Amino acid sequence: MKVLAAMSGGVDSAVAAARAVDAGHEVVGVHLALSRQRGTLRTGSRGCCTVEDALDARRAANLLGIPFYVWDFSERFAEDVVDDFIAEYQAGRTPNPCMRCNERIKFAAVLEKALALGFDTVVTGHYADIREGVDGHRELHRAATWAKDQSYVLGVLTAEQLAHSWFPLGATPSKDEVRAEAAERGLTVASKPDSHDICFIPDGDTRGWLADKVGAEDGDILDRDGNRLGTHAGAAAFTVGQRKGLNIGYPSPDGRPRFVLEVRPKTNEVVVGPKEALAISELAGAKHTWAGQAPADAESWFDCEVQVRAHGDPVAAEARVEVRGPAEALAEAGHASTTSGGARELVVRVREPLDGVAPGQTAVLYVGTRVLGQCTIDRTVSAVAPTLVDA
């Protein structure tokens, strides 16, 4: 095959590219320049996509003897990921920029360009597995290494994208084995730290970054009954489930910690309350996709597990696709998946309550190790009250 190896500058993508070369394919390496103002150096394991990362990727490609290019996707990354991140926080939602990057950049823009250039598949260093199901269709599965499994952030991939994707590290027993392999190959990234935090906020100060981008205006912190408990310096800096940084100044009447229950961007208010008030029994999202073939009857309840965080535990659930509300109402909210009777949304009911789930997060459905599909959460239903919390 003619293979495009997406090389981030880290050890995983370098070893994935090396394995593609070993398999006898025609491999070309590419590094994505995603920032318009890239820093010159990393800070330890914080951040990625820097000039240093590009140089590391080039050195790995040179060692493997494959052509190497840098593709500038900074403008599209700014629009589709960074601007989306800001807009979601302004709307009181909790976005996942890694999901948007995988969806709109790495497996949409890059794959589209790769296919146009005549490549057959795109190889990345993600820890996930693609298998052929009994019906002959490709399926996305968890990696062999649970601790490194990245199938959650790949849950946005469609059947067409899976048909042109390859994850050579999916069956590798451990990250230590990948590092050892890199060292044996002479790759200088063998001991390079894994990146973490949001790549475009490498110092980890999300609150400060948002304040600089969207501004911050003092507002009220309320309890569930609407009583004013204190003030904050900008609602966009808060997320549902947050405990630290409330700075109310005095304890709750029962002495228990307070958590953010709701963010109201229109009124610049933050609602707080006890931890048990975070529990939800149902979630739903109109923007949903299937990772491969959809269930045979998606409009009937089917058993599954749902995961709402990249490193969270899956919980037992049931799900189905429903039509909810007038099409116009949800279309105004930016949802295009509509019918003449309303919007089609994926509804998930959990067997046991989930804590701290916020609109904007991604819910990924699993059946065993297989990723079935995903949705961006628009609304949740409380497990302790009949209140519906809409975005």
Each residue's pLDDT tens digit, 72-88:
999 999 999 999 999 98
Q: Which residue from 361, 351, 352 is spatially nearest to 389, judged by alpha carbons?
A: 361
Cβ-Cβ contacts under 8 Å for 295 (sequence gap 6 or more): 302, 372
Of 134-148, 332-346, 374-388, the least confident: 332-346
Mean pLDDT taken over the chain = 87
Q: Which residues of 234-273 are buried (b: 16+ CB within 10 A; e: fewer)?
A: bbbbbbbbbeeebeeeeeeeeeeebbbbbbebeebbbbbb
Q: Are 128 and 151 in contact (CB under 8 A)?
A: yes
Out of 98, 101, 304, 375, which one is annotated catalytic?
Answer: 101
Decide which of 134 and 140 is more confident. 140
pLDDT band at 55 (very low <50, low <70, confident <90, very high): very high
For residues 83 and 119, what is the distance between their CA atoms, to the nearest angstrom? 30
- The amino acid present at 344, given as its one-letter code, is R
Most confident of 39-43, 93-97, 217-221, 263-267: 217-221
Q: Can you give the pLDDT at residue 38?
A: 54
pLDDT at 123: 97
98 given a catalytic annotation: no
Q: What is the pLDDT of residue 342?
A: 61
Residue type, position 151, single letter: S
Whether 375 is a known active-site residue: answer: no
* pLDDT of amino acid 221: 94
* Region of poorest pLDDT, from 131-135, 257-261, 278-282: 131-135
Q: How confident is the model at residue 43 (pLDDT cuts 50, 70, 90)?
A: low
pLDDT at 41 over 70: no
- State both tokens at 85: 């991140």
User: Locate tokens 């919980």: which residue?
Assistant: 315
Separation between Cα atoms, residue 55 and residue 35, nearest integer Å: 15
Q: Which residues does residue 303 pair with via DSSP β-bridges, in sequence order? A: 318
Supply 288's token pair.
């949903």
Please determine, for residue 172, whether its predicted confidence score (pLDDT) is greater than 50: yes
**367's torsion region: left (phi>0), alpha (psi -120 to 50) or beta?**
beta
What pLDDT, on a 0 to 100 scale, did the predictor assign at position 325? 64
Mean predicted confidence (pLDDT) in 141-170: 93
Residue 333: predicted pLDDT: 46
> What tokens appear for 197 in the block?
């935090």
pLDDT in tens, 283-337: 999 999 999 889 989 999 999 999 999 888 999 999 999 987 654 444 444 444 4
What pLDDT sits at residue 125?
A: 95
- The highest-confidence range among 95-109, 155-169, 326-340, by mean pLDDT, is 155-169
Q: What is the pLDDT of residues 263-290, one digit of tens each?
A: 888 889 999 999 888 999 999 999 999 9
Choose the weakest-confidence range: 32-41, 42-51, 244-253: 42-51
The active-site residue out of 49, 98, 199, 304 is: 199
Give the percent of the chain with pLDDT over 70.
90
Residue 391's pLDDT band (cuts 50, 70, 90):
very low
Residue 255 vs residue 182, higher pLDDT: 182
pLDDT of residue 229: 93
pLDDT at position 336, please? 42
Q: What's the pLDDT score for residue 387?
A: 45
Q: Which residues contact 374 (CB under 8 A, 6 or more apart)?
A: 155, 156, 288, 289, 291, 362, 363, 364, 365
What three-state secondary structure class fits 302?
strand
Tell me how far the alpha carbon of residue 9 is from its chain's centroid.
Answer: 20
How is residue 325 written in tokens? 């509300």
- Nearest CA-CA partner of 219 in 268, 170, 182, 180: 268
Calculate mean pLDDT across residues 60-78.
Answer: 95
Which of 371, 377, 376 has the alpha carbon at shortest distance from 158? 371
Q: What is the pTM of this model?
A: 0.87
pLDDT-based confidence at residue 48 (cuts at 50, 70, 90):
low
